[in-house]
Amino acid sequence: MDVNFQFDWSAAFGSIPYLLPGIPWTLLISFGGLAIGFFIGIFFGLLRISRLRWLRWPAIVYVEVFRGTPILVQVLFIFYGLPQLLGSPINALVAGIAAIAVNSGAYISEIVRGGVQSIERGQGEASLSLGLSRTQAFRYVIWPQAFRRMIPPLGNQGIISIKDTSLFSVIGVGELVRQGQIYIATTFTALEVYFMVALMYLAITWTLSIILRQLEIRGLAGQ
């Protein structure tokens, strides 16, 4: 092996046209999964803080199961395991979106719970003392404040989930890493191509960070 290996910029740039088609897949799996995960998270997060014990425990079980097992195992289970149960194959894209959804949903439900529980007790008491029902107090007073506090951890989870989609190359969905692997198989330029793959992830996550920072600034301006 040549120890004086040089980074071949032309190989790096040359890979771009082959990598770019992976970006829409990465975005589709990430944001598709996160959108569903957001609703799963709100659902189980609210169950988790219910006053009724029998509503709380399904949420606890959900979080423990999907937070406590690797997302790689989850997607393999969905893509290879579930078809045996269902008797029909599952599309790789669907499997990827489902894995992000159930996995991020577990973390988001904890974010929702933490956000709601962080609101001072006096806010609910003031609402009730004005005659608002519990539902109205939640909708108009608690939730808007909790949601603002949830934005930073939600952004964090979004970035983690985007990076998690890289694992889905194992089920053959044509996202960024998969595209890179296919390209490297013919060119043997792993250094340059994975460098470019990393840059593309960075471009996506950095853009998201900037958008989130703007959202936070706008959210706090009112307070």
Partner 1 sequence: MSETMSNTTQPIVRMQQLNKHFGSLHVLNDIDLTIVPGEVVVIIGASGSGKSTLIRCINGLEEFQSGSLVVDSNELLPHGKSTQALQTIRTEVGMVFQQFNLFPHLSVIDNVTLAPMKVRGLSRDDAVSNAKRLLDRVGIADQADKYPSQLSGGQQQRVALARALAMEPRLMLFDEPTSALDPEMIGEVLDAMRELAKEGMTMVIVTHEMGFAREVADRVIFIHKGEITEQGHPEKLFDSPQHERTQSFLARVLKH
**Chain positions contacting partner 1, by CB under 8 A:** 120, 122-123, 125-133, 136, 140-141, 144-145, 148, 222-223
What is the separation of C-alpha 42 from the centre of its chain, rounded to a whole number of angstroms? 14
Residues 6+ apart with CB under 8 A from 127: 136, 137, 140, 141, 142
Beta carbon nearer to partner 1, 128 or 182: 128
Residue pair 172/92 in contact by the 8 Å Cβ criterion: yes
| Least distance to partner 1, CB of residue 134, Å | 10
CA dihedral sign, ordered 75, 79, 85, 86:
positive
| Least distance to partner 1, CB of residue 110, Å | 23
Separation between Cα atoms, residue 2 and residue 48, nearest integer Å: 58
Beta carbon nearer to partner 1, 20 or 126: 126
Beta carbon nearer to partner 1, 160 or 215: 215
- DSSP-based helix, strand, coil % in the chain, nearest 5: 85, 0, 15
What is the separation of C-alpha 219 from the centre of its chain, rounded to a whole number of angstroms? 21
| Least distance to partner 1, CB of residue 223, Å | 5
| Least distance to partner 1, CB of residue 39, Å | 23
Beta carbon nearer to partner 1, 73 or 130: 130
Q: Which amino acid is at 144?
A: P
| Least distance to partner 1, CB of residue 141, Å | 5
Beta carbon nearer to partner 1, 148 or 163: 148
| Least distance to partner 1, CB of residue 118, Å | 13
Separation between Cα atoms, residue 223 and residue 221, nearest integer Å: 6
Beta carbon nearer to partner 1, 88 or 135: 135
Q: Which amino acid is at 215?
A: L
